[in-house]
Amino acid sequence: MNDSILASLRQAIPALALKTAPADLEHYGRDWTRRWTPAPLAIALPDSIGQVQALVRWANAHGVAIVPSGGRTGLSGGAVASRGELVVSLERMNRVLGFDAVDRTLTVQPGAVLQTVQDAAREQGLAYPVDFGARGSCTIGGNIATNAGGIRVIRYGNTRDWIAGLKLVTGSGELLELGRSLVKDASGYDLRQLVIGAEGTLGIVVEATLRLADPPPPAQTMLLAVPSFEVLMDVFALFRGRLRLQAFEFLTDRGLEHVLAHGGQNPFDAVHPWYVLTEYDAAAEADQADALAVFEHAAEHGWVLDGVIANSEEQTSQLWRLREGITEATARYRPYKNDVSVRVAAMPAFLAEAQALLGASYPDFEVVWFGHIGDGNLHINVLQPDGSDDDEFLRQCAHVTELLAGLLQRHGGSISAEHGVGLLKKPYLSSSRSDADVVLMRAIRQAFDPRGIMNPGKIFD
């Protein structure tokens, strides 16, 4: 059956590159979650918009489901193909197509890697400010599909704030040009914004035009050791009130210890319970003096135990490694990832309740907290103990996630801040979105993808 379907695809698009070797099916059929067994039909690697359109039309005619695939760094199973889908990898469509100095935009193919895009912007004396640890392997197409956030959201916002235009091949194979780089456009619904964060369920992003920013001013990086999580938001309010922040992240001793075990360097003599990693504008000596004054103010209130300021690029990278290295350092435990958000103002109350809930619910598991606390976004990672049973571990995680979802609902938060719903958070969608929302989302999906071939089973069934 698979052979005849693939023969028909080869016949329909003879120049299309296809991979079917078991190692390729395994490699392209999963993302960073590693919780679902990959079982795609095949991997298609189009090299043009025309090929994408042709294969979507072919998939419609043959009722074949498609999973769009970028760098597969996703953390919620959005790019997983475990049910005989055709994976459409955009890795061959990875070029920077052009720069417009007047519009200050960069046009790229969807498979362009985030870091390549950042470098291309820098070469033009500008910046593409979306940034996070997967920059070396995630793609712009995947970033758009998940509305990726990261470590600069506090200053620059999410991916959706930087997409001037995009081209989409819809689920029926039509090519749409959305946004068209217009600064102002009041001619009806902004379909571009519907596509951003749609996790590949409306179509395949085949080109994107990105807005660029002025390069960020010189910054200083400070790591603070904090005595308790109760004061985290006090420290945040103080720093945000007095400095121009570029990042405000937090981690705990647990995350730090995993990174240290992977070669990170502890700048302090001791391990402390909570840490803040912050970066702020420091173009002039006066800014640095302000930062010191703020630190001293925090110390006088007992809000910080220790602090270190990076005094070289190398030290800056070492400090950032302590925060950004947690995902990789804990990956071997295949953490069950919670990626939740509440309004920044709701954070203190939510944090207190979440900590009590998780402390009581996961007595036997190691829980590693970190995240973009300045955006109200926490990553709560439950590490699977070595040798434990997968099903039992997931059953317990599901039970606690139900409770967490209830808590989020009471605090008006979201079960997915930046990783997407994918497969992982699908059972909890109703805690963040009303029934009416979901009815409308389904109708929108039906309009873009009448036969339901685009990433079926992701976000909702």
H helix count then E strand count, the chain: 16, 16
Q: Which two tokens stand for residue 133?
A: 């640890």
DSSP string, 340-389: EE--GGGHHHHHHHHHHHHHHH-TTSEEEEEEEGGGTEEEEEEEPPTT--
Q: What pairs with residue 11 in β-bridges?
A: none
Exposure string over 189-216, b if 16+ CB within 10 A, otherwise e: eebbebbbbbbbbbbbbbbbbbbbbeee
Site for ligand FAD in 205-264 (CB under 6 A): 205
Rank residues 299 and 438 by Cβ distance to ligand FAD and give the closer one: 438
User: What letters, b where the CB count within 10 A reaches 16 and e where it falls short, cover 140-153?
Assistant: bbbbbbbbbbbbbb
Cα(37)–Cα(81) distance, integer angstroms: 8
For residue 58, the one-letter residue type is: W
Among 90, 251, 304, 424, contact with ligand FAD (rule: CB under 6 A):
90
Stretch that binds ligand FAD, among 54-62, 128-136, 252-260, 347-355 (CB under 6 A): 128-136
| 163 touches ligand FAD by CB under 6 A | no
- Residues 40, 70, 348, 376: which binds ligand FAD (CB under 6 A)? 70
Binding partner selected for residue 294 from ligand MLT, ligand FAD, none, CB under the kind-specific 5 to 8 Å limit = none
303 vs 393 by CB, closer to ligand MLT: 393
User: First vs last Cα of the chain: how many Å apart?
Assistant: 25
The two three-digit tokens of residue 376, written as one number: 């109200």
Q: Any contact of residue 173 with ligand FAD (CB under 6 A)?
A: no
Question: Among residues 25, 41, 67, 367, which is the contact residue for ligand FAD, using CB under 6 A?
Answer: 67
Given 33, 143, 330, 338, the residue binding ligand FAD (CB under 6 A): 143
Is the CB of residue 271 less than 8 Å from the CB of residue 256? yes
Q: Which residue has the tokens 């079926």?
A: 456
In the set 38, 46, 129, 142, which binds ligand FAD (CB under 6 A)?
142
Number of residues that bind ligand FAD (CB under 6 A): 38
Write the CB contacts of 249 (distance below 8 Å, at least 6 apart in sequence).
151, 276, 277, 278, 323, 370, 371, 372, 373, 374
Please give the residue ranges that form the binding site for ligand MLT (CB under 6 A): 75, 132-133, 324, 327, 337, 339, 371, 379
SS3 state at 252: strand
Residue 295 CB: number of other CB atoms within 10 A? 19
Nearest distance from C-beta of residue 137 to ligand FAD, angstroms:
7
3-state secondary structure of 96: strand
Q: Report the nearest approach of ligand FAD to the CB of residue 200 (Å).
A: 3
Stretch that binds ligand FAD, among 8-16, 34-42, 65-73, 256-264 (CB under 6 A): 65-73
CB of 138 to ligand FAD, least distance (A): 4
Q: Report in angstroms how near the CB of residue 405 gets to ligand FAD at its nearest.
A: 20
Residue 46 touching ligand FAD (CB under 6 A): no
Site for ligand FAD (CB under 6 A): which residue of 38, 46, 129, 133? 133
Closest separation in Å from C-beta 261 to ligand FAD: 17
Minimum CB–partner distance for residue 144 and ligand FAD (Å): 7
In the region spanning residues 312 to 351, those forming contacts with ligand FAD, defined by CB under 6 A, are: 327-328
Instruction: Enumerate residues 411-450 that contact ligand FAD by CB under 6 A.
Output: 418-419
Tell whether residue 141 is a contact of ligand FAD (CB under 6 A): yes
Q: In 3-state terms, what secondary structure has residue 74? A: coil
- Residue from 13, 55, 65, 134 in contact with ligand FAD (CB under 6 A): 134
With a CB cutoff of 8 Å and minimum separation 6, the contacts of 346 are: 376, 411, 412, 413
Looking at residue 226, its amino acid is V
The interface partner of residue 376, options being ligand FAD, ligand MLT, none and the CB cut-off 5 to 8 Å by kind, is none
Query: What tokens were used for 28?
Result: 């392209």
Q: Could you say which of ligand MLT, ligand FAD, none residue 106 binds, taking C-beta under 5 to 8 angstroms by partner kind? A: none
Q: Tokens in use for 275?
A: 């840490």
Q: Locate tokens 């937090």: which residue?
A: 250
Write down the least CB distance from residue 260 to ligand FAD, Å.
17
Asked if residue 85 binds ligand FAD (CB under 6 A), the reply is: no
* Residue at 208: amino acid letter: A
Contact between 148 and ligand FAD (CB under 6 A)?
yes
105 vs 74: CA distance, rounded Å? 26
**CB 376, CB 240: distance < 8 Å:** no
Nearest to ligand FAD of 130, 291 (CB atom): 130
Cβ atoms of 313 and 218 within 8 Å: the answer is no
Q: Does 139 bind ligand FAD (CB under 6 A)?
A: yes
Q: Does 31 bind ligand FAD (CB under 6 A)?
A: yes
Q: Which residues bind ligand FAD (CB under 6 A)?
A: 31-32, 67-75, 78-79, 90, 110, 132-134, 138-139, 141-143, 145-146, 148-150, 199-200, 204-205, 327-328, 418-419, 455, 458
